[in-house]
Amino acid sequence: MTDTSPKRTIANTPPGWFDNVRRRYFPTPIQSVISILGLGLLGWILWTLLNWAVFSAVWDGQASPETCRAAAGACWTVIAQRWRIILFGLYPFDQQWRSALACVVVVAMVVLSCVPAFWAGRRLAAVWVLGTGLFYLLMKGGLLGLPLIGEEKWGGLALTLFIFVATCLIGFPLSIVLALLRRSELPVISKGIGLFIDAVRSLPLLSILFAFAVVVPFMLPGWLQTGKLYRVICGAALFFAAYQAEIIRGGMQGVALGQDEAAKSLGIGYWHRISRIILPQAMRNALPATINQFVISFKETSLVIVVGFFEILASGNAAYGTGDWTFAYREVYAFIALIYFVFVFSLSRYGAYLERRMAVGTF
Amino acid sequence: MPGFLRNQKIRNILLQVLFVAAVLVIVVGGWRNAQQTLQAQHIVSGFGLLEKATGWDVNFSLLPHSASDPYWWFFLIGIVNTLFLGTLGLALATLIGGTIGIMRTVAHPVLNLLGRSYVDFFRNIPLILQVFFWYALVTHLPAPRNAIDFGPLTLSSRGLYMPALNVGGWYLAAAGLTLLLALVLPLWLARTRRISRPPEERRGLVRGVLAGGILAALVILLVGRDAAGPLISRPELQGLNIRGGLRIPPEFSAMLIAIGIYGGAYIAEIVRGGFKAVGRGQTEAAHALGLTPLQSFFRIRLPLALRAMLPILANQYIWLIKATTMGIAIGFTDFFMIVAVTINQSGQTIEAIAILMAGFLAINLTLAAIFNRINKAIALKGNQLRG
């Protein structure tokens, strides 16, 4: 080797941040233009939003509607004055701590069921039944010195969460039953249930809620008549179960046939085969779609506003709809959207995380 | 256990009989209860309802309507409204979703970020909340007196006004249908194998049909014009309200915007998934064969991605059509709202719900059939399937 070989010192230095930025955002003239335009658009959207929500906004909780109307940005006064209506609806003022505590219970319940240590049928069932019981006790009262407060007074976020939790609690076991029946070897049962599931799935949720609120009372005998709230929850649970049953059935189809055959040849009975061999594996296959279904059904709880419930969206409408604050609809909707966003976004991020985590384990 | 129960076959038959009996008990029991309740409330049941005049009116309709029209006509109006909103909403959602989805598939960090923010933001807020928001936004626009003008368009809290042809409703519909035929028929004529002449020699026929159709549409418009006014009616402020022209009510625009934006976010994810499903090898092979990025996109990736996304897209479309029922929350007279008002006015709950179910079943099954047909037509055949 002679010393004519080129010096390699410069080429060996790792690329600095400047090179990285250039390579990522400005590799060719066209891409540079797109980058600049896109960043400009993003910056403009961010600035407009921030300017509206923070810089030009009225933060004074006691400001009068006139000052608010004159301001260029958001008027958070309406939230400061009406947040109790939005969150708790018509719940008696001095008892609203119960409503708040009940919401905390639901959040804790959902967080607990996201922890892998609780992923066993019995533990999950225990968490949900206990949590819902506690929620119901806190909201309804009548025990332990808490004054009795009927369901017609419930409202706001607590009602939204209650409908969601009760829908899941009834709908999930029902979905397993429906999925098993649809996979039954008896043709009449599997065809009949299949027809039922497909019929429910082809209808809009709103029409089912409406039917349960308005039509079903005609059909029920006197001893089965319940409050409208519970009928609507049953309708929502039925809808949830029809969709979830198909997800679980898909998960079951993903379980290798040999698993069931091996269990049969070992002489394991039907119930043990289902509960110990098929369902655990099927649930694993179906988990991402299941979480997605929970997310969808949480968003769809807001539909009960149409059959006349005072859930968070309706209480939001009431909060800006009357009196001096009719102009402040943006702030109220932004507040409710933020609440939904926090719940839904964290759930769907969790679903995405699970999907990645489970993809590691399989083949 | 009695002896005969140990026989699997007999047990199976018994179980199924029990299942049928349980279903029958529920259905018949519900039916009888409903009959008794309705009789107690003196509500006449039966489908004689369809022939009766409604006595109430709708605020949005593509077809002519009045309060003395029978119920079946109103149900038809509702279905047409639902389909109209659904079709436009799906088109808008597909446009938005396609754009955003492709933005997320190109290897450009800024476009990726923009697309992702859009999807994350709009997908995680309930549709009905977005419907309410857009409705509040369009009804809080300035009153007609201070309406905003964009050239020929006028935007106010009463809705969006645009110039319209001064032609009777039926003539307008006929002209639109003729125009549509004039555009679609030549496409079919140019490709069909039913005609023995080769495609090169059909040009005259195709052009003739196109020109004839357009001419016929124009003639229909001229025949049907309202002789009293000018051919084009423009929106003008008269007193406190705007008269003339075509009014798009705020209920419709709010629903359309909400469905377009929310559906777009979902469709964007489907489009992205479709492109992700295209094998890397296909793209690399296209590159190796010297196709430019654009050619590779339009000839290789897009056709393959379309096939991957179509079944999921069909589900999403059906979901969005069902979501048009949310119009009832803001007072858009879609099929569901007409059924709900019927129940309120006539009390004939069961018949109305049955009509609702039949209507949505028909719409969904038709959509599903159309998509199955498309799916079958574009499916890869034979050994092209090899990955």
Condensed to tens digits (0 to 9), the pLDDT of residues A201-224 reads 888 898 888 888 888 887 777 677
In a domain, A27, yes or no: no
Chain A residues whose beta carbon lies within 8 Å of the beta carbon of residue B350: 215, 218
**Which CATH number do you get for residue B273?**
1.10.3720.10
B20 vs B69, which has greater pLDDT?
B20
Q: Is residue B243 part of a domain?
A: no
- The pLDDT confidence band at residue A363, using thresholds 50, 70 and 90, is very low
Restricting to A residues 2-61, those with a Cβ less than 8 Å away from any Cβ of B are: 24-25, 31, 34-35, 38-39, 41-42
With CB atoms and an 8 Å threshold, state whether B133 touches A313: no
Nearest by CB to residue B132, choosing from A210, A217, A333, is A333
Q: What is the CATH number of the domain that holds A179?
A: 1.10.3720.10
The nearest CA of chain B is from the CA of A7 a distance in Å of 34
Give yes or no: residues B254 and B125 share one domain. yes
For the segment A124-150, the average pLDDT, to the nearest whole number, is 80
Verify whether the Cβ–Cβ distance A42 to B325 is below 8 Å. no
Question: Does residue B220 or residue A8 have the better pLDDT?
Answer: B220
Identity of the residue in B15, B349, B364 whose CB atom sits nearest the CB atom of A218: B349
B332 Cα to chain A: minimum distance (Å): 13
Subunit contact A305:B329, Cβ cutoff 8 A: yes
Nearest to B16 among A186, A204, A329 (CB): A186
SS (H, E, C) chain A: CCCCCCCCHHHHCCCCHHHHHHHHHCCCHHHHHHHHHHHHHHHHHHHHHHHHHHHCCECCCCCCHHHHHHCCCCECHHHHHHHHHHHHCCCCHHHHHHHHHHHHHHHHHHHHHCCHHHCCHHHHHHHHHHHHHHHHHHHHCCCCCCCCCCHHHCCHHHHHHHHHHHHHHHHHHHHHHHHHHHCCCCHHHHHHHHHHHHHHHHCCHHHHHHHHHHHHHHHCCHHHCCCHHHHHHHHHHHHHHHHHHHHHHHHHHCCCHHHHHHHHHCCCCHHHHHHHHHHHHHHHHHHHHHHHHHHHHHHHHHHHHHHCCCEHHHHHHHHHHCHHHCCCHHHHHHHHHHHHHHHHHHHHHHHHHHHHHHHHHCC
pLDDT tens, residue by residue, A52-64: 888 877 777 777 7
Average pLDDT, chain A: 83
For residue A195, give how far its alpha carbon lies from the nearest alpha carbon of chain B (Å): 12
Q: Is A199 touching B (CB cutoff 8 A)?
A: yes
Cβ count near B80 (within 10 Å): 15
Lowest mean pLDDT among A262-271, A309-318, B42-51: B42-51
Query: Total structural domains in chain A?
Result: 1
Domain contains B10: yes
Q: Tokens for B35, please give them.
A: 């009959």
Q: pLDDT over 90 for what percent of chain A?
A: 12
- Partner-chain contact B23 A192, CB within 8 Å: yes
Instruction: Report pLDDT for B89.
Output: 93
pLDDT band per the 50, 70, 90 thresholds, residue A286? confident
Cβ–Cβ gap B16/A42 under 8 Å: no
Taking alpha carbons only, the member of B347, B121, B212 closest to residue A49 is B121
CB contact under 8 A, A203 and B360: yes
pLDDT at position B387 over 70: no
List the single residue in A210, A220, A299 with the smallest CB-CB distance to B126. Answer: A299
Judging contacts by C-beta atoms under 8 Å, the chain B residues touching residue A22 are none
Q: pLDDT value at position A2?
A: 52
Domain assignment of residue A272, yes or no: yes
Q: Flag whether residue A274 sits within 8 Å of chain B, measured between CB atoms.
A: no
Residue B382 has pLDDT above 70, yes or no: no
The identity of residue B385, as a single letter, is L
Domain encompassing residue B24 = 3-42
Same-domain pairing of B225 and B350? no
Give yes or no: residues B207 and B314 share one domain: no
Q: The domain containing residue A252 runs over which residues? A: 77-361
Give the mean pLDDT of B16-26.
89
Are residue B149 and residue B169 in the same domain, yes or no?
Answer: no
Specify if B220 maps to a domain: yes
Question: Average pLDDT for residues A61-73, to the nearest whole number?
Answer: 75
B217 lies in the same domain as B169 = yes
The most confident of B79-88, B185-194, B234-243, B336-345, by mean pLDDT: B79-88
How far B348 CA sits from the closest chain A CA (Å)?
A: 10
Minimal CA separation from B317 to chain A, in Å = 12
| Under 8 Å between Cβ of A357 and B161 | no
The answer to whether the CB atoms of A189 and B336 lie below 8 A apart is: no
Would the CB atoms of A207 and B30 count as touching at under 8 Å?
Answer: no
Whether the per-residue pLDDT at A103 is higher than 60: the answer is: yes
Whether residue B131 sits in one domain with residue B265: yes
Give residue A361's pLDDT band: very low, low, confident or very high (50, 70, 90).
low
CA nearest to A337 within chain B = B125
Is residue A348 within 8 Å of residue B266, measured between CB atoms?
no
Nearest-angstrom CA–CA distance, B340 and B172 = 30
Domain tally, chain B: 3
- What is residue A7's predicted lDDT score, i.e. its pLDDT? 54
- For residue B240, is it within any domain? no
Examine residue B271 and state whether it is found in any structural domain, yes or no: yes
Whole-angstrom Cα distance, residue A325 to residue A314?
15
Asked if B108 and A31 touch (Cβ cutoff 8 Å), the reply is: yes
B352-371 pLDDT tens trace: 888 888 888 888 888 888 88
Q: What is the pLDDT of residue B98?
A: 93
Q: Return d(Cα B387, Cα B278) in angstroms, integer.
A: 10
Which percentage of chain B shows pLDDT scores above 90? 16
Give the number of other CB atoms < 10 A from CB of residue A111: 12
- Give pLDDT, residue B386: 46
Tell me the shortest Cα–Cα distance from A314 to chain B, in angstroms: 10
Handedness of CA A192, A193, A198, A200 (dihedral sign): positive
- Whether residue B286 is contained in a domain is answered as yes
Q: Which residues of B touch A25 (CB under 8 A)?
A: 109-110
Judged against a pLDDT cut of 90, whether residue B294 lies above it is answered with no
User: Which of these ranges, B150-159, B175-184, B283-292, B365-374, has the smallest mean pLDDT?
Assistant: B150-159
**Same domain (yes/no): B280, B136:** yes
The arithmetic mean of pLDDT across residues A242-265, rounded, is: 88
The verdict on residue A118 lying in a domain is: yes
Whether residue B144 sits in one domain with residue B265: yes
Q: Has the ipTM of the complex gone over 0.90? A: no
Is A219 within 8 Å of B356 when comparing Cβ atoms?
A: no
Residue A42 to residue B114, Cβ atoms within 8 A: yes
Residue B339: both structure tokens together: 């059924």
Q: Within a 13 Å sphere around the CA of A195, how many CA atoms are in the beta-carbon half?
A: 6
Instruction: Report the range out of A12-26, A92-106, B91-105, B139-153 with the highest average pLDDT.
Output: B91-105
Q: Is B310 exposed, middle or buried (0-12, 13-18, 19+ CB in 10 A)?
A: middle
Beta carbons of B328 and A202 less than 8 Å apart: no
Higher pLDDT: A61 or A301? It is A301
The reply to whether B52 falls in a domain is no
Give the confidence band of A4 by pLDDT, cuts at 50, 70, 90: low
Supply φ then ψ for residue B228, to 5 degrees: -70, -40
Which among A48, A307, A333 is the top mutation candidate for probing chain B, defined by the most B β-carbons within 10 Å of its own β-carbon?
A333
User: Considering CB atoms only, which of B38, B323, B340 is closest to A210?
Assistant: B340
Average pLDDT over residues B46-59: 74
| Average pLDDT of the residues of chain B | 83
The band of A13, judged by pLDDT with boundaries at 50, 70 and 90, is: low
Summarised one tens digit per residue, pLDDT across range B224-250 is: 777 666 767 777 777 667 777 778 888
User: A148-171, pLDDT tens digit by residue?
Assistant: 777 777 878 888 888 998 999 899
Among B133, B357, B361, whose Cβ lies nearest the Cβ of A333? B133
Backbone torsions φ then ψ of B149, nearest 5 degrees:
-105, 130
Min distance B16 CA to chain A CA atoms (Å): 6
With CA atoms as reference, the chain B residue closest to A42 would be: B114
Chain B residues whose CB is inside 8 A of the A214 CB are 343, 349
Residue A191 lies in a domain: yes
Closest CA to B366 of B302, B316, B318: B318
**Same domain, yes or no: B215 and B88:** no
Residues of B in contact with A313 (CB under 8 A): 126, 128-129, 132
Q: pTM for the full model?
A: 0.85
Query: Do B310 and B258 belong to one domain?
Result: yes
Min Cα separation B37/chain A (Å): 6
Please tell me if residue A220 touches chain B, with a CB cutoff of 8 Å: yes
Residue A298 lies in a domain: yes
Residues found in chain A? 363
Of B114, B120, B103, the closest CA to residue A42 belongs to: B114
Within 8 A of A160 by CB-CB distance, chain B residues are none
Contacts A327 to B, Cβ<8 Å:
140
Q: Which of residues 120-159 of A touch B (CB under 8 A)?
A: none
Mean pLDDT of B289-304: 89
Whether residue A240 lies inside any domain: the answer is yes
Question: Is the pLDDT reported for residue B333 higher than 80?
Answer: yes
Same domain for B211 and B105, yes or no, is no
Instruction: Report the pLDDT value the prediction gives residue A241, as an integer from 0 to 100.
Output: 94
Residue type, position A108, single letter: A
pLDDT > 70 in chain A, percent: 94
- B12 vs A contacts (CB less than 8 Å): 185-186
Work out the average pLDDT over A17-25. Answer: 79
Spell out the alpha helix ranges (H) of chain B: 8-40, 71-105, 109-123, 127-139, 169-191, 203-224, 250-277, 280-288, 293-295, 302-323, 335-346, 349-378
User: Which residues of A fall within a CB distance of 8 Å from B323?
Assistant: 204
What average pLDDT does the segment B43-64 reach?
73
Average pLDDT over residues A226-237: 88
